[in-house]
Amino acid sequence: MNATVFGLCGAMAAGLGLYGLITDAQPLRKILGFNLLGAGAFLSFGVVARRGAAAGFGGDPVPQALVITGMVVAFAATALAVALLLQLFNTAGAATLDTNATSEGNDPPVT
Amino acid sequence: MMTDFLLASSGFVLAMVAVGLIRVLGGPANADRMMAAQLFGTGGIALLLLMAAATNITALVDVALVLALLAAFTSVAFVISGSRSDMLEPGAAEQS
Amino acid sequence: MTIGFALDSAIAVLVVAVSCWTIIARASFAAVVGFVSFGLLLTLVWVRLDAVDVALTEAAIGSGLTGALLLAAAARLRTSEFATQAERPSMALRVATALLSATATAALAGALFLLPSPAPTLAPAAAANAGATGLGNPVTNVLIAFRAMDTMLEKVVLLLALVGVWSLASDRFWGGPPSPLRGANTEGPLAFLARLLTPLGIVVGIYILWEGADHPGGAFQGGTILAAMWLLLMMSGVANAPATRFRSLRLVLISGPMVFLVIGLGGLWLGEAFLAYPVAYAKPLILVIEFVMTLTIAVTLALLLAGPPTREASR
Amino acid sequence: MSIVLDTFTVLAVTGGLFFFLAGTVGLLRFPDPLTRLHALTKADNLGLGLIVLGLLPQTNAPVGALKLLVAWLLVQLSGATIAQLIAREARRGMPQA
């Protein structure tokens, strides 16, 4: 069945996203990895929806609706994460999660 | 027969987009990378329109419309952030 | 069918290749461009999975808005990028992570392969109850009627995320406008494009909302297109980002969840259940919710992307 | 009648595919961003135009044909302007590259 190809592809995207999320030191790249992980999970769920094709629909509409809701929530979470990251950059002068690097560096300007 | 021709045509356009995408992502200049959204703006839309005609799902034309709008929006975002990161280039480029 | 299978396989290989690029690319800008391409390719995947509603959402939010957000962040963080690149984790950690990721992939793929053969589905139930709302699009039915609670709470999540972003502003900027989204040279072609594209985009956005009743489309997709058009005006310098203290702006932000809540409580008051629409008025009520929600989604998404207020509110 | 229309579709779509091929070859072979941009925007837009033209007889409602034309118009409008914006970026980066 054709949908299986995309299931495999979603699983691989999720795995790659997880790898990037853990190993990449840059917070922005972690956010990218997290989005990749989420997209892979949505895609896998989309394959489940496709398997549930019945009653004249091309797929089960319930998982499809949940994926749409999930995408909007993922965007909201990404926007908040990016705003936090930019705030970190503005106050600490570097976008890094390494606690030693920020405490050694110049004192953050108080706003 | 017509269906097969249209589907095969969309496969051909996909191959062209794939080759172009590999070329464009590799750079070397950021200006090259900015072309990625443009590539989907023409190739992706041609692909969707061919698929819509092949499968008789007319809603795919709506997807093509949305993609056309959002590809333009993303291209503008590319150009603006690209030009901003170029403004910061002296310093950043020399450190590396 | 074989042509279709070849097409699907080619798309799948391309998706995996682009996600690899997103992880391994050296420069963040290149990685984000890879991610945007990934989103655009996913749109094709959703089309091939016969989930056109999801394809529209992916094209609009997944690649469009998320891409613009991450691109702007990559541009801002450019100076800090090379310093952080040095902090690479040890080889042992990377190998362990690779193993963990491979296991996760295998588990996910295995779960999909081991799915029971006539897969469990709610499609017949959704088809049987479609008459209760009078709408022809099953996905809109699920979103607005059958699982309306999810959709309402998701509006609240969007609002909370915006409150979170705004609360990062320092006290003296509270209520002021966010930073301008403008680029280096906005005069000329960009302003021309924004003026030309926005009216067309608004028509397409409303059309997608309207289509959502019976065909793929709806409030999310329409709202995102409207948000993108507003952002285009801001990025090209034709419009300015609004001060966040405006009453009217805040009213639009809360009107979506509020209308949902009021109609939901109305269902309770009429003796049925929370969010149960009286059958005779189901369709007009749903249209009211969808229309108000589109406006709220458009404004919330655009402001989420614009970020926290960074300038003092002018009196 | 339908044979004539189908032949027209096949011819126009094949012509469109040819221009997509030409654009991709240009993208691969041309030496700098400006010429590559030229290959991408000119050839692909012509290719899309021919494909839209070829698909017009296959639509079964006037609204469908209208939407095809609107999609093409949108790409034309945005493509022309964005090509110019990217070209500016490419030219600013040229001396170093």
| Amino acid A39: pLDDT | 92
Q: Would the CB atoms of A52 and C301 count as touching at under 8 Å?
A: no
- D92 vs C: CB within 8 A: no
Q: What is the DSSP string of A88-107?
A: HHHHHSS----HHHHHHSPP
Distance CA C40, CA C44 (A): 7
Mean pLDDT of A93-98: 70
Q: Would the CB atoms of D67 and B65 count as touching at under 8 Å?
A: yes
The percentage of chain C sitting over the pLDDT mark of 90, rounded to a whole number, equals 3
Interface test with B, best of D34, D70, D78 (most B CBs within 10 A): D78
Residue C220's CB: how many other CB atoms inside 10 A? 29
The token pair at A84 is: 């936090």
Distance CA A16, CA C27 (A): 18
Name chain A's partners: 3 or more CB pairs within 8 A: C
Closest residue to C56, CB basis, from B11, B25, B63: B63
Q: How far is CA B70 from CA C163, C231, D88, in A?
A: 26, 11, 21
Q: So where are chain B's domains? A: 2-85
Residue whose C-alpha is closest to residue D11's, from B12, B58, B5? B5
Contact B61, B50 (CB under 8 A): no
Give the bridge partners for C309, in sequence order: C178
Distance CA C308, CA C296 (A): 18
| Amino acid D1: pLDDT | 57
Does C244 or C227 have the greater pLDDT score?
Answer: C227
Mean pLDDT of D3-28: 84
Q: Which residues have a Cβ under 8 Å from the Cβ of D73 and sit 6 or more positions away?
A: none
Q: So where are chain A's domains? A: 2-104
pLDDT tens digit sequence for B27-72: 777 777 878 888 888 888 999 998 888 887 778 888 888 888 888 8
The answer to which of A52-56, A78-82, C153-157 has the lowest mean pLDDT is A52-56
Q: Would the CB atoms of B53 and D24 count as touching at under 8 Å?
A: no
Q: Would the CB atoms of D37 and B61 count as touching at under 8 Å?
A: no
Mean pLDDT of C259-287: 76
| Amino acid D53: pLDDT | 86
The answer to which of C172-181, C249-258, D76-85 has the lowest mean pLDDT is C172-181
Interface test with C, best of B66, B88, B95 (most C CBs within 10 A): B66
**Average pLDDT score, chain A:** 80
Mean pLDDT of C194-200: 86
- D28 vs B: CB within 8 A: yes
Q: Binning pLDDT at 50, 70 and 90, where does residue A78 land?
A: very high
Contact B38, C35 (CB under 8 A): no
Residue whose C-alpha is closest to residue C157's, from A77, A38, A35? A77
Residue D62's CB: how many other CB atoms inside 10 A? 8
Residues 24-83 of D with CB under 8 A from C: 70, 74, 77-78, 81-82
Q: How far is CA C4 from CA A5, B15, C12, in A?
A: 12, 14, 12
Q: Binning pLDDT at 50, 70 and 90, where does residue A106 land?
A: very low
Please check whether the domain covering A2-104 is classified as CATH 1.20.1260.10: no
Mean pLDDT of A37-51: 86
Write b or e for each residue in C145-158: b if 16 or more Cβ atoms lie within 10 A of its Cβ, otherwise e: bbbbebbbebbeeb
Contact B83, D93 (CB under 8 A): no
Q: Binning pLDDT at 50, 70 and 90, where does residue A45 land?
A: confident
Contact B48, B62 (CB under 8 A): no
Residue whose C-alpha is closest to residue C151's, from C262, C283, C290? C290
**Average pLDDT score, chain C:** 81
| Chain B nearest-CA residue for D51 | B46
The token pair at D64 is: 């469908």
Residues 7-46 of A with CB under 8 A from C: 7-20, 22-29, 31-33, 35-36, 39-41, 43-44, 46
Closest residue to C57, CB basis, from A4, A61, A68: A68
Distance CA B52, CA D67 (A): 12
φ, ψ of residue C147 in degrees (nearest 5)? -125, 45
Fill in the DSSP letter of residue C115. Answer: S
Fill in the DSSP letter of residue A31. Answer: H
Residue A17's CB: how many other CB atoms inside 10 A? 26
Distance CA C248, CA A9 (A): 45
pLDDT tens digit sequence for C278-302: 767 777 777 888 888 888 999 999 9
| Amino acid A81: pLDDT | 92
Residue A19 burial (C-beta neighbours within 10 Å; 0-12, 13-18, 19+): buried
| Amino acid B95: pLDDT | 33
CA of D48 vs chain B CAs: smallest distance (Å) = 6
Write b or e for each residue in A51-74: b if 16 or more Cβ atoms lie within 10 A of its Cβ, otherwise e: bbbbbebbbbbbbbbbbbbbbbbb
| Amino acid A105: pLDDT | 45
The pLDDT of residue A11 is above 80: yes
Rounded to 10 degrees, what is the CA torsion of B70, B74, B75, B77?
140
The pLDDT of residue A52 is above 60: yes
Does A1 or B37 have the greater pLDDT score?
Answer: B37
The percentage of chain C sitting over the pLDDT mark of 70, rounded to a whole number, equals 90
Contact C22, A13 (CB under 8 A): no
**How many CA atoms within 13 Å lie on the side-chain side of A85?**
27
pLDDT tens digit sequence for C220-242: 888 899 999 998 888 887 777 78
Q: Which residues of C touch D70 (CB under 8 A)?
A: 200, 204
| Amino acid A100: pLDDT | 59
**Is the backbone peptide bond immediately before B28 cis, with ω within 30 degrees of 0?**
yes
Q: Would the CB atoms of B30 and D89 count as touching at under 8 Å?
A: yes
| Amino acid A101: pLDDT | 54
Distance CA C232, CA C222 (A): 15
The pLDDT of residue A110 is above 60: no
Closest residue to B72, CB basis, from C7, C185, C197: C197
Its ipTM equals 0.86
| Amino acid B87: pLDDT | 46
**Average pLDDT score, chain D:** 81
Q: Would the CB atoms of D83 and B38 count as touching at under 8 Å?
A: yes
pLDDT tens digit sequence for C73-126: 888 887 777 666 666 777 888 888 888 888 888 888 888 878 776 777 777 777
pLDDT tens digit sequence for C28-72: 888 888 898 898 899 989 988 888 888 988 888 878 889 888 988
* Type of residue found at C300: T
| Amino acid C270: pLDDT | 74
Q: Which residues of C touch B85 (CB under 8 A)?
A: 29, 74-75, 78
Q: Would the CB atoms of D78 and C193 count as touching at under 8 Å?
A: yes
The pLDDT of residue A97 is above 80: no
Q: What is the pTM of this model?
A: 0.86
Contact C309, C179 (CB under 8 A): no
pLDDT tens digit sequence for D71-96: 888 888 888 888 888 887 777 765 54
